[in-house]
Amino acid sequence: MAAPKKNGIQTVYFKNPPVIIAAASIVGCLEGEGPLGKTFDQVVNDTYYGEKTWEKAEQRMMLETMQKALEKAGLQVKDIDYMLAGDLLNQIITANFTARVLGIPFLGLYGACSTMYEGMALGAMLIDGGFAEKVLVGASSHYSTAERQYRFPTEMGNQRPMTAQWTVTGAGAAVLAREGSGPVITHATIGKVVDLGQGDAQNMGAAMAPAAADTITCHLQDTSRQPDYYDLIITGDLGAYGKKLTGQLVTQYGYDISDRYTDCGILIYSASQDVHAGGSGCGCSAVVTCGYLMESLRSGKYKRLLGIGTGALLSPCSVQQGETVPGIGHAVVIEMR
Amino acid sequence: MAAPKKNGIQTVYFKNPPVIIAAASIVGCLEGEGPLGKTFDQVVNDTYYGEKTWEKAEQRMMLETMQKALEKAGLQVKDIDYMLAGDLLNQIITANFTARVLGIPFLGLYGACSTMYEGMALGAMLIDGGFAEKVLVGASSHYSTAERQYRFPTEMGNQRPMTAQWTVTGAGAAVLAREGSGPVITHATIGKVVDLGQGDAQNMGAAMAPAAADTITCHLQDTSRQPDYYDLIITGDLGAYGKKLTGQLVTQYGYDISDRYTDCGILIYSASQDVHAGGSGCGCSAVVTCGYLMESLRSGKYKRLLGIGTGALLSPCSVQQGETVPGIGHAVVIEMR
């Protein structure tokens, strides 16, 4: 298969790379018990988090994650120019209601599970473009709110196919700033919506893989870099099947990323946790990036990484009307200098 | 009531104000019969627009509006760096599926009915910040897709209270460019989420009014301008009740805008069209801005205007869980030079 047809350069670089001065993550029980459990700031064992509904629990999780990120940055709400956030719930109510509490000028985003990376890319542009000093970026998902909105009430106990993924319960938030210490965002590659005709809403990894492969390939072409420039190339929530497909497509497009490529949805759970193909949801790439990846950059385990937030752009309505599932992938380069 | 408490300057200005080189709008039958009918590019009388579902009709409307805007600008898809768009449907499927066809790097937005203005503000920042030469911005809504998603199936014939508004069927799109001829965007004021506790989802104008008043006041304070700097101050879709409340709030905050303030939702329908409080929906401010306002700027009727896209940040789920309805307002200054 030929490399993706390109209209032009999709990648921008930042003259003064914005700094991720702080990041925070709060996750649910299953995520806390997983291999990355220790890299998150807080584990919440109650799926209701003391609230009356799962939706309100997700809101509390996003709010406290944002407050935690501000606290770690030593900043207050008034120091932040913009909040960029989104989630999976209809009309992104998690982000809207969090923004209501914080009172920061708010730009609502919807990129499905790519939202954290869409936010980091846009936030970096706003800072490097001269429109902000500090930006707060965040995204969240919750297993129980996503299941009942997208699929079936969990009470029904429907059987899930092995290609299905497990929506991560968790929220991630990062504070981007013009100056400070921490990893920097040097490039962003905004993705196109790609659809190779996958119509199974229970196999979203396969639906997102073509978009992920497209963005990775465009990024490498745009920057004239080889995969070995990066210590790690990591997609957001493709899971086992989507990751395999992405690797195959990128190989067909002329790049071999196999020795340094993984996926947040694979890292977050262990095989014994019975989540089938891996993690998914806005929270997946958000918490792995704000938890594990930030820790790995700060500890020196990785120096340069290419992260690709991936989103499946379906709705129950679009599936019911016979549509296939398009995907999107937004990439940012994060380096420790 | 005191003026809104502010954390800092919310308004940014553009060193090289991006130009709206073209704009297009396609509307439904009722909008075509309204007072602004002649300012739209096309009127579609079939609510299905030849498609099998209203959702697919809305997609066709957004796609053709974007293609029309490109055609009027003399541009092709490959000339556009980013597409920024959103709509009211769950998971913004209208915008996602339109982006799938166009294949332009895509940033999905959700600002409820403020989306067109969120897009214009962000698009202008991306261009003036040096990250894009040309950006395509769009938003849409459809009476029938919105009614069945947010309220009741229209087949039920539920009675609507007089405070209810009528979701505009229509799509608007604008091409923003670094250079060219046309109205320019000189400033943007990104709004905060404001909630004064209005809980009636059938009176969204009242729910959005505090946010609109907050953004207008912040904008005037930030720029040290008086209302008479503008020939027109126009909100997105507050309708009759929301417009009245906004005027009152802004007066309490110390500015008199009464002699130059109106609302897109009031202009788009005539009193005889029986739409109760006026128009609403993402399409409302999008088509009035891309149709009537662009024509008024080009003809010299207005020279400087402050437009405020307004959004009610509710979902059926948030209302069912007892939440009130927060609002948001994003403002841009459009001037003919």
Whether B100 sits inside 8 A of A313 (CB atoms) is yes
Question: Residue A7: what pLDDT?
Answer: 65
Task: Please report how many Cα atoms fall inside a 13 Å half-sphere around the Cα of residue A75, on the Cβ side.
Answer: 25
**Chain B residues with CB inside 8 Å of A106's CB?**
190-193, 328
Strands B170-177 and A106-108: unpaired
CA distances from B217 to A77, A82, B10, B220 (A): 20, 18, 11, 5
Residue among A110, A131, A315 minimizing CB distance to B109? A110
Please report which confidence band the pLDDT of residue B154 belongs to, taking 50, 70 and 90 as the band edges.
confident
User: Which residue on chain A is closest to B323 by alpha carbon?
Assistant: A97
Whether B110 sits inside 8 A of A111 (CB atoms) is no
Read off the pLDDT of residues B86-97 as tens digits, 9 standing for 90 and up: 999 999 999 999
With 90 as the cut, is the pLDDT of residue B8 above it? no
* Least confident among A191-205, B118-132, B152-166: B152-166
**Chain A residues with CB inside 8 Å of B93's CB?**
313-315, 317-318, 323
Please report which confidence band the pLDDT of residue B197 belongs to, taking 50, 70 and 90 as the band edges.
very high
With 90 as the cut, is the pLDDT of residue B132 above it? yes
Counting residues of chain B whose pLDDT is more than 70, the rounded percentage is 98
Amino acid at A216: I
With 60 as the cut, is the pLDDT of residue B249 above it? yes
Nearest to B184 by CA among B12, B336, B23, B22: B336
Q: Which two tokens stand for residue B217?
A: 């006041």
**Chain A residues with CB inside 8 Å of B323's CB?**
93, 97
R_g of chain B, CA atoms, integer Å? 18
Beta pairing partners, B111? B113
How far is C-alpha A269 from the chain's CA centre? Answer: 16
Contact A225, A255 (CB under 8 A): no
Q: Helices (DSSP H) in chain B: which residue ranges?
A: 29-33, 54-73, 93-102, 115-128, 143-150, 204-223, 239-252, 264-267, 282-288, 294-299, 316-320
Whether A100 sits inside 8 A of B195 (CB atoms) is yes
Q: What is the mean pLDDT of chain B?
A: 96
Whether B318 sits inside 8 A of A55 (CB atoms) is yes
Report the run of H or E that residue A288 belongs to, with start and end: helix A282-288
Beta pairing partners, A175? A22, A136
Beta pairing partners, A138? A85, A173
User: What is d(CA A41, CA B134) in angstroms, rounded to the nearest whole number?
Assistant: 41
**Chain B residues with CB inside 8 Å of A118's CB?**
107-108
Q: How far is B33 from chain A (nearest CA, A)?
A: 30
User: Which residue on chain B is closest to A128 by alpha carbon?
Assistant: B129
Read off the pLDDT of residues B110-125 as tens digits, 9 standing for 90 and up: 999 999 999 999 999 9
Mutation for A interface: B63, B109, B131, most A CBs within 10 A: B131
User: What is d(CA B107, CA A238) in angstroms, rounded to the nearest whole number?
Assistant: 20
Contact B238, B216 (CB under 8 A): no
User: What is d(CA B174, CA B233) in angstroms, rounded to the nearest whole number?
Assistant: 20
Q: What is the DSSP string of A51-75?
A: SSSHHHHHHHHHHHHHHHHHHHHT-
Burial A120-152 (b: 16+ CB within 10 A, else e): bbbbbbbbbbbbbbbbbbbbbbbbbbbbbbbbe
User: What is d(CA B193, CA A212) in angstroms, rounded to the nearest whole number?
Assistant: 33
Q: Which two tokens stand for residue B60?
A: 């066709």
Residue B240: phi, psi to the nearest 5? -65, -45
Whether B190 sits inside 8 A of A105 (CB atoms) is yes
3-state secondary structure at position A314:
coil
User: What is d(CA A141, CA B1) in angstroms, rounded to the nearest whole number?
Assistant: 38
With 80 as the cut, is the pLDDT of residue B2 above it? no
* DSSP conformational letter for B128: H
What average pLDDT does the segment B228-234 reach? Answer: 98
User: What is d(CA B331, CA B117) in angstroms, rounded to the nearest whole number?
Assistant: 7
Listed by start position, the domains of chain B span 1-337
Question: What interface predicted TM-score (ipTM) does this complex get?
Answer: 0.97
Q: Which two tokens stand for residue A254?
A: 């002329």
Q: Which two tokens stand for residue A294?
A: 């930030």
Q: What is the mean pLDDT of chain A?
A: 96
Sign of the torsion formed by the C-alpha atoms of B96, B102, B107 and B111:
negative
Whether A107 sits inside 8 A of B103 (CB atoms) is no
With 60 as the cut, is the pLDDT of residue B1 above it? no
Read off the pLDDT of residues A273-313 as tens digits, 9 standing for 90 and up: 999 999 999 999 999 999 999 999 999 999 999 999 999 99
**Chain A residues with CB inside 8 Å of B104's CB?**
7, 192
Q: How far is B89 from chain A (nearest CA, A)?
A: 8
Beta pairing partners, B305? B232, B334
CA distances from A249 to A106, A252, B285 (A): 37, 5, 42
Nearest to A313 by CA among A107, A170, A110, A89: A110
* DSSP conformational letter for B89: S
Residue among A77, A90, A97 minimizing CB distance to B7? A77
What average pLDDT does the segment A139-147 reach? Answer: 96
Whether A130 sits inside 8 A of B129 (CB atoms) is yes
Contact B157, B295 (CB under 8 A): no
Report the run of H or E that residue A319 belongs to, with start and end: helix A316-320
Q: How far is B120 from chain A (nearest CA, A)?
A: 12
Give the CATH fold of the A1-337 domain: Peroxisomal Thiolase; Chain A, domain 1 (3.40.47)
Please report which confidence band the pLDDT of residue B153 belongs to, taking 50, 70 and 90 as the band edges.
confident
User: Which residue on chain A is closest to B197 by alpha carbon?
Assistant: A100
User: Which residue on chain B is closest to A190 by alpha carbon?
Assistant: B105
**Crossing angle between the packed helical segments A54-73 and A93-102, to the nearest 10 degrees:** 50
